[in-house]
Chains A and B, each alone.
Chain A
Amino acid sequence: MTATDAGGAVAARASNVWKVYGTGEAQVVALRDVSVEFGSGRFTAIMGPSGSGKSTLMHCLAGLDAVSRGQVHVGDTQVTGLGDKALTRLRRDRVGFIFQQFNLLPTLSAQENIRLPLDIAGRKPDPQWWDTVIATVGLTDRLAHRPSQLSGGQQQRVACARALIGRPDVIFADEPTGNLDSRSGAEVLSFLRSSVREHGQTIVMVTHDPVAAAYADRVVFLADGEIVTELSDPTAETVLDTMKKLDSTELVH
């Protein structure tokens, strides 16, 4: 199925994307003709069982990995076929990342980590936006600390701020709360949601936690490398229901 996002501009788009790993016997089809759009200013969650291709899809969308077939766009830039220089610039200027873990450079302070994408690009942060971001992440008194002096939740919030500071077209987050306890997770998720609601940021987040997915505006479900269904304005219950339904259809297969 093709998942389109209701109305508005498209921040990222995959069209008939295939991703195949390996050859012959060892061949794994991680993405099977996936087409999906992510609307600008929306918070989308990607869900699905482990191994369903969530991370692969995200990596392809973000220009971290090349697709086997099909096309990927960020905004109106075609990502497929870009060289390393252009991809680097795309990641630097137009895409933000939050990984499950190991998001920060241990040698840099929280503040320096947040500025990192701007420093790489040789840009100065917009002071007003800087203050806003720092205030929303709530790290004002921790800015001079090194990652090793921060809790896991604080580290992830620094990572969020880092992703946000350059106002990228889209932020990709791969299980950003996967390593956090539920309270820290909730903080990070509220922060992500508020940056969408209040600042119009586009976020695509991979998760397998229904509660986390409920923070999103929309949930896209993947199974076996294919998009199987999607939900708008999800709640934890509707997400859980859909998952159960999918599980039972899996069983039917």
Chain B
Amino acid sequence: MLRATLKSLLARKLRLILSGLAVVLGVMFVSGAFVVTDTLSRSFDAVFATAYSQTDVAVSAQPKIAVDEMEGEQVATPLPADVVARTRAVDGVAEATGLVSADGARVVGSDGKVLNSFGPPRLGGNWTGTDDLLELRAGRGPQAADEIVVNQTVADGAGLAVGDRVGVLTLEPKKDFTLVGIFGYSGGRDSLGGVQEVLFTEPVAQRLMLGRAGVYSEISVRAADGVTPEQLRDRVGSALGAGYVVKTGDQLAEENAADLQEGLGFFNNILLGFAGVALFVGIFLILNTFSIIVAQRTRELALMRAIGGSRGQMIGSVLVEAVVIGLVAAVLGLAAGVGAGAGLAYLFTSFAGGLDLAPIGVPPAAVLSAFVVGVLVTVVAAVLPALRAARIPPVAAMQDVATPDRPLTRLTVAGAVIGAAGAATLGVGLYGDSGGATLTLILSGVLVSFIGIALLTPLVSRPVVSALGRLFSWSLPGRLGRLNSGRNPRRTAITAAALMVGIALVTGVTVVMDSAKSSLAQQAEDNVKAQIVIGGEQNGPRPPTFDPEVLRRAAAIPGVRAAAGVWNDQVVIDGERAWVNATDDLARLADAYGATAASGTLATLRPDQVAVSTEEATERGWALGDRLTVQTARGDPRPYTIVATYDPATLPGSMLLPAAATAEFGIPQPLTGFVRLADGATVDQVLPRVKALVADSPEVSAMDRSAFVAQQTGDFDTIITMVQILLALAILIAVLGVVNTLALSVLERTRELGLLRAVGLGRAQTMRMVTVEAVVISVFGALLGVVVGAGMGAAVVRALDGEGITDLVLPWQRMATYLVLAGLVGVIAAILPAIRAARLNVLAAISHE
């Protein structure tokens, strides 16, 4: 039995290669994700080890607010200089160096723009000379207050050379410095994992990066001979007492690596999610292939039944075939995945700079997942066809096997039931209150809905395909193509359903994103009276900011009625972390927005007063006059009294702190500025003058309100693009399915093609006929996808009504584009089968069995 199976497997190479390819691609995605994250994580391990190679023990002060790696850089609590002296006095300390090192030193490049960072911090610190780690590549260290050195990555990125005047943004607005040196790190590294580094003289670093003279962010300690880092850590710890964090360099390297691992793990999960979609689509393709193979082998299987094969053996013969394909595909997919993962890791490191690619490894997870996924997917897809094989009666061996048009009733009922179950799950996830299970519910709801819809597709395919086909019926090849696409509703349906999945997801995401965009624009339109906004696009881990002086000067421009800025930071309110806003002047901000208080008055806040949104007040049980304690990143806990509440739609954020608090924010500069014009003044008059004011704040620009909204919603378009790219593989697999179906149609209809050619159908006409079939199938799939995706997207948007997505926008243009692209995809998928059809030898085709 096994031998018979393997023989028939070899005999159907081509078909199997195509469906195997779907599994190979899916497995490649999965194992590639593991390989890239594993390789990157080991590369970063090496970076962190290098970064702490000069540190036996490090001392820092307990941070005021502990921030997760994922949420941005933590603000260090400054250490007074005497702590350095006390550390130095500990027995076993060979050397204790006070270090200044904080995120937020942004270099203005030779193009006048701030040098971007895609994730690593932009550190500013004090020059402490070269050592085994840090080496000067050009120039010398900074000696005067207006001198800096930068690492090679900054110099290259910003296009700087020694002797240049360089603008740097820090806690203070832009200041100009002379670049006196460029440094690198041991082992020829230009940076430590892409981190940008700017070093000032010590007093300047303290003032600009920590906001205070005579303080450090960290003390790096070297142990004397014979003292281990662990011993030293314990001694320093007990000498300094409570309030300090004392760790060995190895510990810190490990902690940093673990933090990064978390980030990479998140990235890995996203990749795996999309790999899952690709594999899900692959199941359709394999299901189709096996159904076809079983149909073609009906006689053979019936014969085996007739000579005594059992049902179990029939099922076995199909499943063994599936397992073999799964295994082969897993091996190939794993190999391809290792290659793809290595390629991605290489791309990433050359993009990030300063990261030496660790040797490519194949983590056990990659191998395990490749085989589990590869075999599972093929076997799951083969189960239905296997059961069908078992149901073939022995008499079929004697009968002429016409492909019977089995009724679709059972399929339709099953589809309706499963689809309803999926929709219900989705509904519970979206509208119910299921806490942590929400995402799982939504995802499984979507998945189950897809299966239900796929089962319903054959029913829809008849009318829709014939309607779509009518578009092409003006020519004979078109009409024949259309008729052919309607011949096997199940096969057409599964092929189209595979394409539906990818298109539906893209469409769904597009609907949600476009709705969010439009809602934001609408809210800005409705609630923000300010005609001019100052703001910038995210260019690194910390948000873009500008000089608050701009706000004061903007207020003085003739024709400006009010100008106010908004600061943003994470704080701890009564023990709970929260993101809050602050403003330089609540009265002016309210005027600029055109907001009125829900209770209390929106007047200028005194240093111990705060305004909160009505929503936040309800949630936390606050009322006017209540007192609360707020801990900022740099200051001490301070008491505040609630003096006003406002509708959250009318002012930004859930809480507005007074100007005094901003000095103690991690980022003590405003992120956004709002300028409202006086009656009679026009944007055209005022905007150029505001623009001139922000010329020295290169991270931001001044623009009219709609441009600002467009800028702020640019991220939504980025998300759409990312999703499109990541779903491209799923769509590619679906296209393989179209190719497969067509290749099969051409093969099955060889005699028909021969006949057509014999009675005078030209080669070009033959190709057109095959192409129309492909286009009809693809457009049908895309149409399903667009409809299903729009439906799902609309459901999500409705569910997010309370979260501020109030508009439902159907992206007609994009949906039309998807349909057109699907048509194009059909044309491409048809190329090979069409050529094959056109090349058929007429005589051989006619006599084909």
Contact = CB atoms under 8 A, between A and B. Distances in A.
A117 B760 contact: yes
Contact of B763 (A88, A93, A103): A88
A233 interface: no
Contacts of A131: none
Nearest to B483: A107
Interface in B746-761: 751-752, 755-761
Contact of B762 (A65, A88, A105, A106): A88
A120 B761 CA distance: 6
B476 A119 contact: yes
B759 A99 contact: no
A124 interface: no
Contact of A102 (B484, B759, B846): B846
A215 interface: no
Interface in A51-90: 59, 64-65, 84-85, 88-89
Given A119-B476, A120-B476, A99 B846 contact: yes
A92 interface: yes
A149 to B, nearest CB: 13
Nearest to B848: A102
A104 to B, nearest CB: 8
B751 A121 contact: no
A162 interface: yes
Given A105-B752, A107-B487, A120-B476, A64 B759 contact: no
B843 A64 contact: yes
A64 B757 CA distance: 9
A119 B474 CA distance: 11
Interface in B725-774: 751-752, 755-763, 765
A59 B760 contact: no
B483 A97 contact: no
Contacts, number: 62
Interface residues of B, number: 20
A162 B762 CA distance: 18
B132 to A, nearest CB: 76
Nearest to A93: B760
A107 B484 contact: yes
B810 interface: no
Nearest to A106: B752
Nearest to A163: B759
A102 B476 CA distance: 20
Interface in B419-463: none
A120 B765 contact: yes
Given A107-B480, A107-B484, A119-B476, A85 B762 contact: yes
A119 B757 CA distance: 13
A117 B763 CA distance: 15
Given A64-B843, A119-B476, A105 B760 contact: no
Contacts of A85: 762-763
A118 to B, nearest CB: 9
A108 interface: yes
B755 A103 contact: yes
B411 interface: no
A88 B758 CA distance: 8
A91 interface: yes
B747 to A, nearest CB: 16
B828 interface: no
Contacts of A99: 755, 758, 846
A116 interface: yes
B761 A88 contact: yes
A89 B846 CA distance: 18
Contacts of A65: 843
Nearest to A148: B402
Given A84-B763, A88-B763, A105 B757 contact: no
Interface size range on A against B: 20 to 34
Nearest to A91: B760
Interface in B473-492: 476, 480, 483-484, 487
A204 to B, nearest CB: 15
B842 interface: yes
Contacts of B756: 105, 116, 120
A120 B757 CA distance: 10
A85 B484 CA distance: 24
A59 B759 CA distance: 13
A64 B760 contact: no
A19 to B, nearest CB: 12
Interface string B382-403: 0000000000000000000000
Contacts of A104: 755
A72 B480 CA distance: 32
Contacts of B760: 88-89, 91-93, 117, 120-121
A27 B198 CA distance: 84
Contacts of A117: 759-760
Nearest to A84: B763
A97 B476 contact: no
A121 B759 CA distance: 10
Residue in B476, B480, B751, B758 with the greatest tally of chain A CB atoms within 10 Å: B758
Nearest to A59: B843
A65 B842 CA distance: 8
A210 B846 CA distance: 26
Contacts of A96: 759
Contact of B759 (A84, A97, A106, A107): A97
A99 B761 CA distance: 17
A92 B843 contact: no
B491 to A, nearest CB: 15
Q: Which of A85, A99, A122 has the most CB of B within 10 A?
A: A99
Contacts of B763: 84-85, 88
A105 B761 contact: no
Contacts of A88: 757, 760-763
B842 A64 contact: yes
A7 B759 CA distance: 29
A108 B476 CA distance: 11
B765 to A, nearest CB: 7
A120 B758 CA distance: 11
B119 to A, nearest CB: 58
A95 to B, nearest CB: 8
Contacts of B480: 105, 107-108
Most chain-B Cβ atoms within 10 A of its Cβ — which of A65, A120, A122, A162?
Answer: A120
A103 B846 CA distance: 9
Contacts of B761: 88, 92, 120
Interface string A37-63: 000000000000000000000010000
Contacts of B751: 102
Contacts of A106: 752
B759 A92 contact: yes
A127 B846 CA distance: 31
A8 B843 CA distance: 31
Interface centre among A93, A105, A106 (most CB of B within 10 A): A105
A65 B846 CA distance: 12
Contacts of B483: 107-108
B759 A120 contact: yes
B487 A162 contact: no
Contacts of A92: 759-762
B339 to A, nearest CB: 42
A105 B487 contact: no
A188 to B, nearest CB: 18
Given A91-B757, A92-B760, A120-B762, 10 more contacts: A59-B843, A64-B842, A89-B762, A91-B758, A96-B759, A99-B846, A107-B483, A116-B759, A120-B759, A162-B759
5 contacts: A89-B760, A105-B755, A106-B752, A107-B487, A120-B762
Interface of A: 59, 64-65, 84-85, 88-89, 91-93, 96-97, 99, 102-108, 116-117, 119-122, 162
Of all A-B residue pairs in the complex, the 7 with the closest CB atoms, nearest first, are A92-B760, A107-B483, A119-B476, A91-B760, A88-B762, A117-B759, A120-B760
